[in-house]
Amino acid sequence: MTSWLALALAGGLGAMARYLVSYALPVPYGTLAVNVSGAFALGLLGDNFVLGTGFVGAYTTFSTWMLETDRLSRNAAIFNIMGSLVLGLAAAGLGITFRGAG
C-alpha cells in the first residue's frame, strides 16, 4: 500500500510541475521544455518505478504535444516533431550519462 501512495504522490507532484513549467512558456515551447526535461529526468532516474512512472509519467505529455503540433502550420509542425524527438533523445542520453557518472 505504501508504494501506491508514493506513486500517487509522485504523480500529483509531476502534474503540478508540468502545469507550472508549461504555462510559464508560450505554446509549443512549454510542452517542449516539459518533455525534454522529462526525458532527461527519466534517463537520470533509470529504473526507479515510483519517480519514473509517477512523477515523470504525470509530468510529460504526448497528447498535448500532438494537439499543439496539429494546430501549428506545416513547417512549424515538422520543426516541433523533429526538434522534440532529437532534443528528447539527447536529453535522455545525457541523463543516462549523468546517472552512470554518479
Going by the annotation, the residues of the binding site for Na(+) are 57, 60
The answer to whether residues 52 and 101 touch, using CB atoms and an 8 Å cutoff, is no
Rounded CA-CA distance 34/65 in Å is 10
Residues tagged in the binding site annotation: 57, 60
Rounded CA-CA distance 90/44 in Å is 12
